[in-house]
Amino acid sequence: MRIGIDLGGTKIEVIALDSDGGELFRKRVPTPRHDYRQTLEAIKGLVLDAEAATGRKGSVGLGIPGTISPFTGKVKNANSTWLNGQPLDKDLEALLDRPVRVANDANCLAVSEATDGAGAGGKLVFAVIIGTGCGSGIAINGHVHAGGNGIAGEFGHNPLPWIDEEEWKYQNATPCYCGKKGCIETYVSGTGFANSYKFDTGRELKGAEIMALVAQGDTAAIKAIEDYERRLAKALAHAVNLMDPDVIVLGGGMSNVDRIYDNIPRLMKEYVFGGECETPVHKALHGDSSGVRGAAWLWQRDDL
């Protein structure tokens, strides 16, 4: 049995999978925010709950909104800031008395979708979370590719390529939380979509509200989604030029906007070197469950 944990900023979710990926158990609890020790205890409790409910012992994989530094062995880049600087994997191994594998949540998405999701069969799967922020990860042959610095695939904090004058004005007015300007995240996250609409119109609406206006034929809303699609196409074309993945999989709130799957592949061709691009762009098959399933699949079939 494989146990996966998705450690989020507001909730912690556990899933237990059988050898074929079938779900045996699932549970969520609130995240003990800003309390590292209580976070560890909550994770331990979920693992024990899964094992008590199934009568089995499982391997444990954990997805986090950050990464383990290969140099210090401690968490870095986590927006759940109480995790930063902590030896999370080692502390959990001591608590649970077994090995624990930890990966970035976007890498967990990539692993999940490469194993039995929208990217199944692809050797190199590039997965992008376009939700509140923009995270991305790489799976090669179903395994996480974290890179020498532990940040492979994190294109959300690269600058948006091929910016036009309007995008240049937007980036100067909308710096990224990381302290830099022009980050891809500020354009293609759900937050970026709403912020861009507000920049153009002065109106503060949620993404779903903007899309409702699109359905009504609102000119400003249509411009906002068309701008969004072009920017996402640029960003993904940049990734294709670097990695040429077999499949691109999208997760997060904006991945539920169905029209992007008709428009993004066509728009990408304009920016991919040589003008040829048939890279499939798919919605994550497992949706919001991809992260926690991917954490479980950090232990692959040949690992156990």
pLDDT of residue 93 exceeding 70: yes
Q: Say how far residue 244 (Cα) sits from the centre of its chain.
A: 19
Pick the CATH number of 118-284 from 3.20.20.140, 3.30.420.40, 3.20.20.370, 3.30.300.30: 3.30.420.40
pLDDT of residue 301 exceeding 80: no
82, 34 contact by CB (below 8 A): yes
CA pair distance 243, 265, nearest whole angstrom? 16
Mean pLDDT for the stretch of residues 62-82: 93
So what's the pLDDT on residue 79? 81
Pick the CATH number of 2-103 from 3.30.365.10, 3.30.420.40, 3.30.70.890, 1.10.3720.10: 3.30.420.40
How does pLDDT run across 104-151, given as a tens digit for each residue? 999 999 999 999 999 999 999 999 999 988 999 999 999 999 999 999
So what's the pLDDT on residue 177? 86
Mean pLDDT for the stretch of residues 49-59: 97
pTM recorded for the entire structure? 0.91
Q: Where are the alpha helices (DSSP H) in 78-177?
A: 88-96, 105-116, 165-173
- DSSP single-letter state for residue 123: S
Asked whether the CA dihedral 104, 23, 125, 261 is positive or negative, the reply is negative
Tell me what the pLDDT averaged over the chain comes to. Answer: 95
H or E element in which residue 291 lies: helix 290-296
pLDDT above 70 covers a percentage of the chain that reads 99
H or E element in which residue 264 lies: helix 260-268
CA pair distance 264, 49, nearest whole angstrom? 42
- Ordered by start, the domain boundaries in the chain are 2-103, 118-284
CA pair distance 269, 282, nearest whole angstrom? 16
pLDDT of residue 10 exceeding 90: no
Q: Which residues contact 76 (CB under 8 A, 6 or more apart)?
A: 66, 67, 68, 69, 84, 85, 150
So what's the pLDDT on residue 302? 64
145, 153 contact by CB (below 8 A): yes
Q: What are the φ and ψ backbone dihedral angles of 99, each rounded to 5 degrees?
A: -65, 145
